[in-house]
A and B are shown apart, each in its own frame.
Chain A
């Protein structure tokens, strides 16, 4: 329970940083997608249900921020959290390759989702341009950030595991 609470607080902080701080730094051509990182690492480490919960929260934030059709981001993020939760059986600490591959796949899927349902649908066919100028920079930034955030997540995860074990042993 405490772990969920901490993650939710981190989601709120990530969302705030993402929309309040990154856009200020005008020389950044792209910004890492923090919410995506938190949702997929949360799902990957803690399983499907948790992934879905974090996805739900992150999606709601984004839907509340944009004034387009409500549910567009929530739909994507709950599925993202769930699918990454499937890979939790391959989860192994200090193993960074799989999270990075997942990150690549997730961010690509996220951007394709937006491109297809918000741009292609309005007959914007110049995919190559969007890919080079928007999708690629964001994926690179997000992957680099994942390297750090994932370590941080592992650290927090280990602390919680220790704490839970200590509590359990005290109960027994």
Chain B
């Protein structure tokens, strides 16, 4: 059964690049660009992993993450957060919200793929 990832990102060309990389790595990728209903999209997709941008239209990634962690069954779902804001306080805020991995833009493809594989491997062992 293929691994599933939901990518919440509003930058079309980042979506395209990440979708390409993950698909080649055997992931089934679902993408969504609006923060407002992102929690519902993730909930419905019930993925193995989420990649989440912070600055999104409708609702920011931090709030999406907080809401997601409140849902039963999603407390430990691996969430990789991508953001242009890499200050310590942003990282701390993400950690408090329950992020699994925090990555600042511009990231390399290798970093993203390593993080995705690591997070999935850790989750599989639990």
To the question of whether A and B form a pair in one complex, the answer is no
